[in-house]
Copies of this chain bind each other. A is one copy, B any other.
Amino acid sequence: MDVVTAQKPQDRLAALLAEDMNAVNTLIRERMASKHAPRIPEVTAHLVEAGGKRLRPMLTLAAARLCGYQGSDHVKLAATVEFIHTATLLHDDVVDESKQRRGRPTANLLWDNQSSVLVGDYLFARSFQLMVETGSLRVLDILANASATIAEGEVLQLTAARDLATTEATYIQIVRGKTAALFSAATEAGAVIASASDEQERALFAYGDALGIAFQIADDLLDYQGESGTIGKNVGDDFREGKLTLPVIKAIAAADAEERAFWQRTIGAGKQEPGDLETALGLLQRHGALEATRRDAVVWAGKARSALEALPDLPVRDMLADLATYVVDRLN
């Protein structure tokens, strides 16, 4: 394996799209400013400069490139997607009462919930202005729909929290909303701005959708088996917050009466004692729930790769395929 292929696929994508990504970063810095309210760039800089992977804007750039786009509106779209993502992070951290994000204190902790809510609203409005500048009603439609689906997924997650009756189907629906909707909108919008064929557009939507689901399943699995240093949050956060993620849903489906009582107390009623996380991890292992979750993530990554077959055989396509593989490979 030579040096280039040894790199992570997102690093190879970043290298290939470096010029466009620089333009995206410049645009983000320009547009997150506010003449009148200096609190706004303070909060956004904290989050935007925190070294996020910029995965979503990269997907838009890659999709546009893959469809042969020659213009410059994909840069605006990519910044739009990152703004929507950043706005949802700010609001999520208020909703989850999070204290850490990407290994740093959250904005709601450094400033206050008020700033996080309002600056999130500001970024959402800014993203909307950027989209309007592209002049593409189709793109506006896609991203407006994605925004509604994201909020709907978040509300569904909120009402499903602590509900032991949550099914795998509901879980996938939540994940499609809160995570995959922006991935699929990012790739579909890249295709649309490039005036790609309907088939290519559908293929890039399907890729983003499956990649987003694989990504979130992997994230939820890492919450139980990652190391705090590498995942930027603490192992067991979802358990403590009573979130019904895929590993727990699978373990509950296989639980005997005594185990069910354990899940009912710890997740359903939220009454946790020292040692409960360890017991939970033991139950997840005993029923093979972690391994089954990993297999599901692998299946979704496979769907993402298959979707790409309808697209031109270019280096950027291989990188997108490798990205799907990587998302689940980090679980090993």
Contact = CB atoms under 8 A, between A and B. Distances in A.
Contacts of A145: 129
A147 interface: yes
Contacts of A158: 39, 114-115, 118
A76 interface: no
A132 B121 contact: no
Interface string A15-59: 000000000000000000010111110000000000000000000
Interface stretch (A149-157, A215-223, A260-268, A311-319): A149-157
Interface string A260-298: 000000000000000000000000000000000000000
Nearest to A35: B152
Interface stretch (A135-143, A192-200, A249-257, A302-310): A135-143
Nearest to A160: B37
A95 interface: yes
A173 interface: yes
Given A155-B40, A158-B114, A159-B39, A125 B137 contact: no
Given A118-B151, A121-B154, A135 B137 contact: yes
A155 B37 contact: yes
A318 B91 CA distance: 43
A154 B132 CA distance: 23
B152 A40 contact: yes
Nearest to A177: B36
A326 interface: no
Q: Please state the number of chain copies in the assembly.
A: 2
Interface string A75-115: 00000000000001001001100000000000000000111
Contacts of A126: 148
Contacts of A13: none
A95 B117 contact: yes
Contacts of A121: 88, 91, 120, 124, 147, 150-151, 154
A170 to B, nearest CB: 9
A-B pairs, 8 with minimum CB distance:
A125-B147, A122-B151, A125-B148, A37-B155, A121-B151, A128-B144, A95-B114, A129-B144
20 contacts: A37-B152, A37-B156, A40-B152, A40-B155, A91-B117, A94-B113, A95-B114, A113-B113, A114-B158, A115-B158, A121-B147, A122-B155, A124-B124, A125-B150, A125-B151, A128-B148, A129-B144, A132-B137, A132-B141, A140-B140
